[in-house]
Copies of this chain bind each other. A is one copy, B any other.
């Protein structure tokens, strides 16, 4: 929460739920990453928040961009990034989208299997590819499935296949899981990456780059380690596994870049009980799972919520959204403590919502507008 955001909300009084992003915080976050990891190129994960103002600021600061689609590539270009500063980081791409990206000059693609390598070889001949390997995601708050990446020993074959098809076998990537609280989470993946470098070197293929992915957390209810702690742990792991042949590195922060830069303003629509004798209230907001707070799925991400009654006594409540959907409940298994005096019409501020909110919101579920956004 920043004074700039508080002033904006007081002066503009926007109607309906909305996200407000403070660019000063984004700048601070970028500079913190750049300072802590001076030898690492930063590829901002555009999907976290593709607001044009955010992309333009990051482009002006020198950031690179990790894009999930051709549309995101075009957003990054519009923001001022040249093609060599953009990667197509989705391992699942239509061949025609790879061709469209290549036509725009994009020369860095993620793969995790031979079929994807073949698409890139056909649609972007000679391009650089990095192979994503699986990570277990232990320590991450947002679930990491096995959706992306292959087993490390398979990556050797995938990259060799790329080399054989005339692509530049460029490196290895992994993701330690989003909102990763353990600074040592990179160690095991870097050990695997070093092993892949070695096996390919034996076959005469020199990989150059390790993509350390994202996972850098933002502060929600619990304290998280700062960027310098992550940088130090990663630096140690790189030296441990690569010795004096440290590869190029890149990182892909998304949540860590914009999460704490945004605040959602919402309104209490109803406070009620299911029976007079119930001890737990239900508090219904005008934003829910389908209006931008999708990351409350399985109660994964627990946002801090501020109200004007925070000095009052608190009690647990079930927190839910405004739609006619039974699944639109934010926190129930672990009820959320809110002031007993909180009542209908009160404004609430949901902090740490700069990442993964606006773009997740549904187009019109129940007729509600998608989440409005102001970048200041």
Is the pair B297, A327 in contact by a Cβ cutoff of 8 Å?
Answer: yes
Whole-angstrom distance between the Cβ of A371 and the nearest chain B Cβ: 8
Given contacts A71-B364, A272-B115, A92 and B322 within 8 Å (CB-CB): yes
Q: Does A143 sit within 8 A of B, measured CB to CB?
A: yes
Closest residue of chain B to A322 (Cβ to Cβ) is B92
Docked Cα-Cα span, A170 to B224, in Å, equals 53
Is the pair B368, A69 in contact by a Cβ cutoff of 8 Å?
Answer: yes
Closest residue of chain B to A278 (Cβ to Cβ) is B151
Provide the residues of chain B in CB contact with A354, threshold 8 Å.
Answer: none
Q: Does A90 sit within 8 A of B, measured CB to CB?
A: yes
Whole-angstrom distance between the Cβ of A294 and the nearest chain B Cβ: 8
Is the pair A147, B282 in contact by a Cβ cutoff of 8 Å?
Answer: yes
Provide the residues of chain B in CB contact with A351, threshold 8 Å.
Answer: none
Provide the residues of chain B in CB contact with A366, threshold 8 Å.
Answer: 47, 68-69, 72, 90, 359
Is the pair A50, B364 in contact by a Cβ cutoff of 8 Å?
Answer: yes
Whole-angstrom distance between the Cβ of A329 and the nearest chain B Cβ: 5
Docked Cα-Cα span, A143 to B325, in Å, equals 9
Given contacts A150-B275, A154-B275, A324-B47, A362 and B362 within 8 Å (CB-CB): yes
Closest residue of chain B to A134 (Cβ to Cβ) is B274
Q: Does A144 sit within 8 A of B, measured CB to CB?
A: yes
Is the pair B328, A147 in contact by a Cβ cutoff of 8 Å?
Answer: yes
Is the pair A71, B154 in contact by a Cβ cutoff of 8 Å?
Answer: no
Is the pair A329, B147 in contact by a Cβ cutoff of 8 Å?
Answer: yes
Q: Does A70 sit within 8 A of B, measured CB to CB?
A: yes
Provide the residues of chain B in CB contact with A369, threshold 8 Å.
Answer: 71
Choice from B70, B177, B284, B294 contacting A367 with Cβ under 8 Å: B70
Closest residue of chain B to A295 (Cβ to Cβ) is B327
Q: Mark A256-291, 1 if CB is under 8 A from B, else 0.
A: 000000000001011111111000001010100010
Q: Which of A312-348 contact B (CB under 8 A)?
A: 320, 322-329, 332, 344-345
**Nearest 5 pairs of A and B residues by beta carbon:** A71-B367, A113-B272, A69-B367, A72-B367, A68-B366
- Which residues of chain A have a CB within 8 Å of any CB of chain B? 45-47, 50, 67-72, 75, 89-95, 112-113, 115-116, 119, 134, 137, 142-151, 153-154, 157, 177-178, 267, 269-276, 282, 284, 286, 290, 294, 297, 320, 322-329, 332, 344-345, 358-370
11 pairs, CB–CB < 8 Å, chain A vs chain B: A45-B324, A67-B367, A69-B367, A92-B322, A93-B270, A145-B327, A148-B326, A151-B275, A177-B326, A360-B365, A362-B363
New A-B contacts (7) at CB < 8 Å, excluding given A47-B323, A134-B274, A147-B282: A47-B367, A90-B322, A93-B270, A113-B272, A150-B275, A290-B360, A360-B362
